[in-house]
A = this chain, B = another copy of it.
Amino acid sequence: MTEKTALNDLVGYHLRRASVFDLAGAVAALEPVGTRPITMSVLTCIAENPGVTSAEICRILGMQRANIVQFLADLDAKGLFRREADPADQRIQRLFPTEAGIAAAKDWHARLMAHEDAMLHRLNAAERAELCRLLGEIWMP
């Protein structure tokens, strides 16, 4: 039974409530392995795009260059990627996942998938796909 409030007319209200709900579960799912959702996203970018630069990751994830530093420092301290100077452009550091980084990316992704299976238990596969599509229509260019 949906409550009758002007907030329920607003997609943004539901978006925020659902996103906050998800975030709490995602943080809990990654907490046992000592990481967090954004850190996971950054590592995923490195694992899937060996040689990517931090500026490119920022463009992919929609974050500021200044703000990725802390997440890279975290991943670096865990030895999950290494930096290599680009021979053709001295400004650039290319990032490559280590073996441990590739394994961590897989493990962290699996933990988030398990969390989502629980979170989305009320939706069937078609609804889950439709939700992703509708959300993509909002934010994807």
Contacts and interface: CB of A to CB of B under 8 A. Distances in A.
Interface of A: 2, 5-23, 25-26, 37, 41, 44-45, 48, 62, 105, 109, 112-113, 115-116, 119-120, 122-123, 127-128, 130-132, 134-140
Given A21-B139, A62-B20, A10 B113 contact: yes
B138 A134 contact: no
Given A123-B137, A130-B134, A134-B130, A16 B23 contact: yes
Main secondary structure of the interface of A (DSSP, over half): helix
A132 B8 contact: yes
Contacts of A7: 41, 44
B12 A23 contact: yes
Q: How many copies does the complex hold?
A: 2
A63 to B, nearest CB: 10
A137 B111 CA distance: 21
B14 A139 contact: yes
A25 to B, nearest CB: 8
B6 A44 contact: yes
Given A127-B134, A134-B127, A120 B6 contact: no
